[in-house]
Amino acid sequence: MDDPIQLGTNFTAWDWVIVAVYLSGSVAIGLYANRYIRDMADYIVAGRSLRSFISIATMLGSEVGLVTVMYTSQKGFTSGFSAFHIGVCAGIVPLFIGLTGFIVVPLREAGVKTIPEYYGQRFSKGVRILGGFILAAAGVLNMGVFLKAGAIFVTALTGLHDPVIVNVVMTLLIVLVLVYTVLGGMVSVVITDYIQFVVLSVALLLTAVFAARQLGWEQIVDTVETVHGEAGFNPFAEDGVGWTYVLWNFFVFGLVSSAVWPTAVIRACAAESPQVVRRLYTFSSIGFMTRFILPQFLGICALVYFFQDDVGRELFFGAEGHVADDPNVTLKAMPSFLAQILPTGAIGIVCAGMLAAFMSTHDSYLLCWASVFVEDVVNPLMGGKLTTRTRLTLARVWIVMIAVFLLIWSLWYPLGQDMLDYLSVTGAVYASGAFALLLFGLYWKRASSVGAYLGLIAGAFAVLGLKPVQRMVGLGELLDFQQSVAVLGFSSVGLSLVLLVLGSLLFPDSPATRKES
């Protein structure tokens, strides 16, 4: 439902021309990549030919998407400068991984295209199938709010408040993504991600500088203190998010997003060598950090701007000056702010960069989940006998089917929490078990198939962190919601680790079981 109060925008017909030209060029380049697809290795990991610079750019290009900008800016709006702890966590861990090679280098040396393929190599075919199914299901669920974020962005930035028109625009973007991803696979993803990375990085940096100069640093600090108090600067303050939530973000947006999340790990698998993998993570650490901090700062600027504006204050704040509770409202703050301060032309470039980034994220995710389902679920169930042509066709069909599901889910699911928390919970459905299997599979010889099964199943209990699920099972009454996201998340991770160890000790693999895959 639209808000009764509508804000104006500087977006004009000239800006739409800029958007149309830019997106058309991106699609044309993506389609050109189809000529380089010969087999599944080309389609999924670009023939493992990516070198350092292009690997860094394409990884950050897929991770710095419109949905990232939206949910991180929302967290800046609702939490102030204390939200920067997420960016710090996201920068420290990739640096550590790049220096040590933790998890990702052994995966690259194993020669696998996907993480579930490693499960089959290390444990058994059954573990690979179960792990692939959980990964694909959790990944698609994780994408479920991407279109919602895109629709809110388009509505707020351009002034298109007619939901029918907005849905048409978002559907058209998905169709464009489908065209070049279905045909070009990872090669087209790499090329388009590289372009989006450059454009969006420059646009975000210049926009942040422009916003800071418009508002003034002193006013920004004073307003955050007025609205959020000490919690706006210190996440460990009495009214802040607390240690548990900070540590959870360290795990999810630091370790998981860089070393366990498949759309990042697939870049490591596509790298030319283990040495490239190390450089990829070492130099990407800065990008992983700024992809959170820059949009969060824009969210803070939106907070400051609308707190001083009578119409904006009525829309985004309660009677006592508190931030609105409705996450669908706070998601609109950053694009609404840009619509007010950016001039015609500049706003078109930013919109084009954001929508292109929206497409970049979708191409990587659609390719990843469809490839996992075909390579790690369907093909193993068929005894590994499917031809390359059949697997390519199935992957393309699944990309289309996932896109159709996302269109339906984005309209149906009631977003009852900050988008960042939704993404961390749905990601943990896969990542809790995956972290246990990768950690012990790579670094503990006694890890067994039974332990792996138990670890995967236990990790799926992270779904209890979703607010609608909590209401359904009655957990919402027991824990403060934001704390429950971290508590339930760590519980699923801990349960996965414990059950994997116990299962491995009680039911060790025989030599024959190890060879099953």
Q: How far apart are CA 431 and CA 410, in angstroms?
A: 22
| Domain extent listing, the chain | 13-514
449: three-class secondary structure by DSSP: helix
What is each CA distance from 187 to 32, 369, 437, in whole angstroms?
10, 16, 29
List the helix and strand counts (H, then E) for the chain. Answer: 25, 0
Residue 254 per-residue DSSP state = I
- The Cα 33–Cα 188 span in angstroms is 5
CA pair distance 408, 193, nearest whole angstrom: 26
Q: Which residues pair with 50 in a beta bridge?
A: 271
Q: Who contacts 158 (Cβ-Cβ below 8 Å, separation ≥6)? A: 9, 11, 15, 16, 339, 351
Q: Helix axis angle, 125-142 relative to 115-122, nearest 10°? A: 160
Q: How far apart are CA 418 and CA 284, in angstroms?
A: 26
pLDDT at 474: 65
Query: For residue 135, which amino acid is it?
Result: L
Task: Report the alpha-carbon distance of residue 428 to residue 449 in Å, rounded.
Answer: 21
263, 364 contact by CB (below 8 A): yes
pLDDT score for 453 = 96
Burial class (CB in 10 A: 0-12, 13-18, 19+), 458: buried
C-beta separation of 483 from 244 below 8 A? yes
CA distances in angstroms from 449 to 321, 376, 514, listed in the order given? 55, 16, 8
Please give the full DSSP string across 392-416, using - where no structure is assigned: HHHHHHHHHHHHHHHHHHHHH----
Residues in Cβ contact with 249 at an 8 Å cutoff, skipping those fewer than 6 apart: 85, 86, 89, 424
The whole-angstrom separation of Cα 159 and Cα 196 is 24
Give the residues across from 317 on adjacent strands: 323
The torsion of the CA quartet 172, 177, 182, 187, rounded to 10 degrees, works out to 160
- Identify the pLDDT of residue 273: 80
Cα 96 to chain centroid, rounded: 20
Query: Do 271 and 277 contact (CB within 8 A), yes or no?
Result: yes
Tokens of 358: 């929206």
> Which residue bears the tokens 């990232």?
68
pLDDT in tens, 80-92: 999 999 999 988 9
* pLDDT value at residue 48: 45
Question: What pLDDT is recorded for position 42?
Answer: 45
Whether the Cβ atoms of residue 259 and residue 102 lie closer than 8 Å to each other: yes
Contact in structure between 453 and 216 (CB atoms under 8 Å): no
**DSSP assignment of 323-347, as one string?**
BPS-HHHHTTHHHHHHHHHSPTTHH
Question: What is the per-residue pLDDT for 47?
Answer: 43
Quick check: 373 and 74 in contact, CB under 8 A? Answer: no
CATH topology of domain 13-514: Sodium/glucose cotransporter (1.20.1730)
Residues of the chain with pLDDT under 50: 1-3, 36-37, 39-53, 184-186, 481, 517
